[in-house]
């Protein structure tokens, strides 16, 4: 079985939690802080944290353009909470100079569910996750965004009711995956396992195309 090398963008946010979850999901998890480290991974996780801070630091440390290029080349990327904002092509209620890495044809609203004191947990049905004896996914929302618009090529994986309205909180577009919630904050690692399987499938397909065996 392929053991994918998955990087976690280690500028700010829930880095250790993602590393642990990825390791338990069967990946080789490594920290990514320098441009050359972007080239050495099969996939990347953009952690929860502060999207404006991660955006600013990615530019300071020269990571923005290497990551954007790898996304354009088809590298699998998963973003949780702030990571969803960073993957989105369009952001509402962002800071004036805020930029995203882009790639996901979605419009997100930053801090849509409210402030830190408005954080909450709820049970979700998330399409595509491995079945855990019929157990729903317990999702943790902390100053989370929601998705207001999705492009034609975007698959909606989960929604949540809030204020009497249903909001999109998990999406996939090809090799890009994003959630409004924080799976790294729980002991349920099905979202990370889903992403690692996605990376394995892409890595295996690429190796087969190149006539190479799995490492």
pLDDT tier, 130 (very low <50, low <70, confident <90, very high otherwise): confident
- Is 192 an annotated catalytic residue? no
Quick count: other Cβ atoms within 10 Å of Cβ 16? 14
List the catalytic residue out of 162, 167, 182, 189. Answer: 182
pLDDT tier, 93 (very low <50, low <70, confident <90, very high otherwise): confident
Q: What is the largest CA-CA distance in the chain?
A: 53
pLDDT (mean) for 134-142: 89
Q: How many domains does the chain contain in total?
A: 1
CB 88 within 8 A of CB 102: yes
Decide if 34 is inside a domain.
yes
Decide if 214 is inside a domain.
no
Decide if 38 is inside a domain.
yes
- Is 81 an annotated catalytic residue? yes
Decide if 215 is inside a domain.
no
- For 200, the 3-state DSSP assignment is helix
pLDDT surpassing 50 at residue 132: yes
CATH number at residue 41: 3.40.50.880
Strands (E), the chain: 5-9, 28-32, 43-46, 77-80, 88-92, 104-109, 120-124, 137-141, 146-150, 155-162, 165-173, 176-179
pLDDT surpassing 60 at residue 207: no
Residue with tokens 């904002």: 85
User: Partners of 161 in the beta sheet?
Assistant: 166
Give tens-digit pLDDT for 62-89. Answer: 999 999 999 999 999 999 999 999 999 9
List the catalytic residue out of 81, 167, 189, 192. Answer: 81
Query: The whole model's pTM is what?
Result: 0.91
Beta strands 137-141 and 120-124 are antiparallel
| Parent domain of 140 | 5-209
Give tens-digit pLDDT for 10-23. Answer: 999 999 999 999 99
List the catalytic residue out of 18, 167, 184, 189. Answer: 184
Decide if 187 is inside a domain.
yes
- Is 182 an annotated catalytic residue? yes
């Amino acid at each position: 079985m392929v053991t994918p090398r998955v990087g976690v963008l280690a500028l700010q946010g829930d880095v250790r939690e993602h590393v642990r979850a990825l390791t338990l999901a069967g990946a080789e998890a490594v920290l990514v802080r320098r441009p050359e480290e972007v080239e050495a991974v099969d996939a990347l996780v953009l952690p929860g944290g502060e999207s404006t801070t991660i955006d600013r630091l990615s530019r300071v440390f020269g990571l923005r353009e290497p990551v954007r290029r790898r996304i354009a080349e088809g590298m699998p990327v998963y973003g949780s909470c702030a990571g969803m904002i960073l993957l989105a092509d369009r952001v509402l209620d962002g800071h004036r100079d805020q930029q995203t890495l882009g790639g996901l044809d979605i419009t997100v609203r930053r801090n849509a569910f409210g402030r830190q004191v408005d954080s909450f947990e709820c049970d979700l049905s998330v399409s595509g996750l491995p079945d855990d004896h019929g157990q729903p996914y317990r999702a943790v929302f902390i100053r989370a965004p929601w998705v207001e618009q999705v492009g034609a090529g975007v698959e909606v994986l989960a929604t949540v009711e809030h204020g009497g309205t249903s909001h999109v909180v998990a999406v996939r577009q090809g090799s890009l995956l994003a959630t409004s919630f924080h799976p790294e904050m729980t002991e349920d690692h099905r979202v990370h396992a889903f992403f690692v399987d996605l990376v394995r499938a892409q890595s295996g397909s690429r190796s087969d195309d190149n006539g190479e065996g799995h490492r």
